[in-house]
Every structure is written in C-alpha cells, then in structure tokens.
Amino acid sequence: MAAQTGRVFFLLIVISVTTSFYLLTWGNSITISIWQDFSVKNNSKGEGGLFGHYIFWQKGRNLTPHLAKINETTLSSSVTKSKSDQTWSAVPETPIPILSRQSFKKFPLWDFEDVYNEDASPRQTTCAQSLRNSKDEFFQKSFLPNIRLFLHKDNINMSEWNRLSHFNNPFGFMEFKYNDVMASLKLIPKPKEPLIPPKQGGDGCVRCAVVGTGGILNSSKMGAEIDAHDYVFRMNGAAIKGFEEDVGNRTSVYVHTAHSITASPYFLKEYGYTSAPHDEGIKYVMIPEGMRDFNWLEGLLKGERISSGPYHNKEPRTYYSGQYNESRFYVLHQDFLRYVRNRFLKSQNLNASFWAIVRPTNGAFTIFLALHTCDIVSAYGFMTEDYNKYSNYYVQRFTKSKVIFYSNHDFSMEKDLWKNLHDRKIIKLYQGKGGKV
C-alpha cells in the first residue's frame, strides 16, 4: 500500500514539474486543455447522465454560449491563468468523441439546446405592417429576429464543430467525422449580399409568397396573386410549366436538399417537370440534411463530380440549369434549423425511439426563412384543416392521392401551426376558395 502511494505521489510530482517547465518556457502561449462534463437530461438509459467532452479556451476570446455555465471554481481547478493579461490560454482544439444517435432512446436535451448563434443585428425595416412589429405575445417570445441564418467557412471552427456535434442532422454533426464534413464546410463562401435585398420605393414593405406543393392550389387561379409579390419562395418539386395559372411562374428563392433537387425530376417526370426552377438571378438555398448533402456541396462548390456517397460521379452544377452562382448560393445554418424545431415545431415524436429522423419539412423551413427575411409573408399550397378534400400535390389534377403521414414529419403539427400563425396575423395562409389569404 505504501509503495502504491509512493508511485502516485511520484507521478503527481512529475506532472507538476512538467507543467511548471512549460509555463516557464512558453509563458503566455501555454496551452492547456480542460475536461468538462456537460449535462444532458436523458441518455441511453432514459435517465440523468453526464457526457464528458474536451473544451478549450482561446486567449482573448469570449466564451461560446454553452461554455458560459462553467463556474470559476471549475476553472480554478482546471486551468492556469496568464499573469500578464489575466486571460485564459488555450490548446489547439480537437474534435470531441463521435456521439451516436443509438446512444439515446429519445431526443437528448442538452443544457445548451436552446442557445443559438445570432448575427450582429436584425434587418432594419420601415414597414409599419412588418411581422417584426407584431405585439403577439407567443410570437414575440419565440421569434429570434437576428438568428443566424446561413452557414459558411468563416463561422465554423473547432469550437462550433464540437458544439454542433451534439445534435443529430440536420441540426448538427452527430455521427459525422470531422474531416469528412469539413472538406465541404471550408468551401462555403460567406454571403456577399442579403438573401432578400430591400425593394426601392413603395411603402418600405417586402412582400413574399411561399409556395408549397399541396393540391389545394389545383384550380385556385392564385398564380397572378403569387407573382404580384416582391419575392416568391419555392421548394422541392416546384413544377411550374403548365401550372402557371394556379401557382405563378416566378421563383426568387428555391430551397432544396440534395435529395429533393435530384429526385424531383424523376418522380414528377410524368407531369412535365424536368429541373429545379432556374429564373435569371435566382437565389438557391440548401438544407444540409445529411452526409450526402455535404458530398453534394463539395462537388458543387468545386465544380467537380462527386467523389463519394450515394451521388457518386454526379455533377451537381448540371442540376441548376446554368443558374448556379457562388454569390447567389446559401446554406442554412444548423442553429436556424434547430431553432425552428425547438421554438415552433417540437413534435412529441421526439420522445419516440425514432426521434432521430423527426424534423420539420422543407416547406416549414422555407416559411421560416421567409419570416426572417421579409416583412409580409403569404403561404400557398400548405396543409389546411380540410386537406382531405385535395390531392396530395397540385400536379395531380386528375388523381387524388391521400397525404401520407410519414414518421419523419409531424404534418398535423405543421398544419396547426400555419393556422395558428394565420390567426395571429403573422402570416397569410391560403385556405382554399372559401378562405383566401
């Protein structure tokens, strides 16, 4: 026992001497890592638990939001403070151990779950009718006007990687390998202009239409009204040719995943759909849904064939019909996607064993993108209370397929939310001929 105690004591002396040597040798540049436990409210056993991850401090740098909970007692026992400038020194960070979705029986609620990156200041508006001026208590409490919308190479670093690695896709990088994903993240350019530039003249209001694919638009004759908006958002299989009278013919912003832009021409071929919208000057917005999307991004941004994954050897740029332009291409930030889910569409299905595939639809993300970039938002082709009266898609003029409630989307919750936002005068929802926007 005495010998064992002696060995432990000797080891402590060695560590102390080594640390002192580095402190004396490197001074302010000394880099020290901290092991800190993060609290998670449920783990694979369905009970309270702790997951340890490496956290690092960089000299002269502010804490990221999820590190703010570390108290001074923890710090004083883990880190050495620089005597000259009283700032924390740091080591080059490394990726945290990869977390597996299978480790959790249900949605893991981290203590920094509802903390998000925000941009410096929200878009200013002179529009008196702007949804940003809403006095609705629910909306004011939930809405973050300056939530960070877009991901790019300048706002991703190791600290951000480690934070976002706690969340499953598309809300983060859980289960992904750092080098696999960073190959594409380092290519994403910082947007050179806002997604929706203000319109000149008029009353200062930016009016946007978000057009879904629902059968409620069949014979609606809403096309002219949709096109009269300043900007028109579409997503997924946005068939236009032959449907202009009902859905309009303009597209300002097209929101997609790698799957939706590649699969839509195949599934909608019989309805005359050949490619994604490609109006001159169109803005493309991508939802980074999974690893296949990062493979897609790498090929797209490099202008090359995809080297791996399910789209191996495909040329992404060919799917944009000559309208791809780096300055008009945007990637939604995982914080924005998670915020939409957490604040507005937090389904009870997140408590089920299949929690990891549950997420809002591309249409839902598109509506919220419009809410954060426009003053007045009208939604067409989205599910309403009488959805059973209509075909699933507006392209199905002569057939009536029922809406299939897949487990990855909570359609009922989205339907209720659109009606709720309409009633609160946040959006204007087209509800059929008897209930226009």
Q: Indicate if the pLDDT at residue 79 is higher than 50.
A: no
Tell me the per-residue pLDDT of 149-185, one tens digit each, with 9 for 90 and over.
999 999 999 999 999 999 999 999 999 999 999 999 9
Cβ-based burial of 49 (10 A; exposed 0-12, middle 13-18, buried ≥19) = middle
61 dihedral zone (left: phi>0; alpha: psi -120 to 50; beta): beta
pLDDT value of residue 159: 95
Beta bridge partners of 38: 51
Q: Rounded mean pLDDT of 25-32?
A: 32
Among residues 425, 89, 394, which one has the least CA distance to residue 220?
A: 394
Indicate the pLDDT class of residue 92, thresholds 50, 70 and 90.
low
Tell which wins on pLDDT, 10 or 30.
10
CATH classification of 131-150+192-287+322-429 is 3.40.50.620, yes or no?
Answer: no
pLDDT value of residue 359: 97
Strands laid side by side in the 376-380 sheet:
329-331, 283-286, 253-256, 231-235, 207-211, 376-380, 428-429
Q: Rounded mean pLDDT of 348-364?
A: 96
pLDDT value of residue 59: 29
pLDDT value of residue 7: 52
pLDDT value of residue 80: 34
pLDDT value of residue 398: 81
Strand (E) or helix (H) holding 2: helix 2-26
pLDDT value of residue 91: 56
Check if the beta carbon of residue 150 is closer than 8 Å to that of residue 185. no
pLDDT value of residue 198: 83
| Residue 270 dihedral angles phi and psi, to the nearest 5° | -65, -15
Distant-in-sequence, close-in-space partners of 179: CB < 8 Å, separation ≥ 6: none
Indicate the pLDDT class of residue 356, thresholds 50, 70 and 90.
very high
Among residues 95, 142, 146, 141, which one has the least CA distance to residue 117?
A: 146
Residue 337's identity, in one-letter code, is: L
pLDDT value of residue 65: 34
Q: Indicate if the pLDDT at residue 51 is higher than 60.
A: no
Tell me the per-residue pLDDT of 389-421, one tens digit each, with 9 for 90 and over.
899 999 998 887 777 787 889 999 999 999 999
CA atoms of 207 and 232, how far apart (whole Å):
9
DSSP per-residue letters across 236-258: SS---TT-HHHH-S--SEEEE-H
CA atoms of 276 and 261, how far apart (whole Å):
6
Indicate the pLDDT class of residue 204, thresholds 50, 70 and 90.
confident
Q: Indicate if the pLDDT at residue 283 is higher than 60.
A: yes
pLDDT value of residue 6: 55
Percent of the chain with pLDDT over 70: 78
Q: Indicate if the pLDDT at residue 308 is higher than 60.
A: yes
Q: Indicate if the pLDDT at residue 45 is higher than 60.
A: no
Tell which wins on pLDDT, 112 or 7.
112
Mean pLDDT of the chain: 82
| Residue 232 dihedral angles phi and psi, to the nearest 5° | -125, 125
Q: What is the largest CA-CA distance in the chain?
A: 89
DSSP per-residue letters across 276-312: ----TT-EEEE---SHHHHHHHHHHHHTS---SSTTT
What does DSSP say about strands 376-380 and 329-331: parallel, antiparallel, or unpaired? unpaired
Most confidently modeled range among 46-50, 119-123, 262-266:
262-266
Q: Give the tokens for residue 82.
A: 């620089």
Q: Indicate if the pLDDT at residue 258 is higher than 90.
A: yes
Collapse the DSSP code of 406 into the 3-class scheme (helix H, G, I; strand E, B; otherwise coil) and give the result.
coil
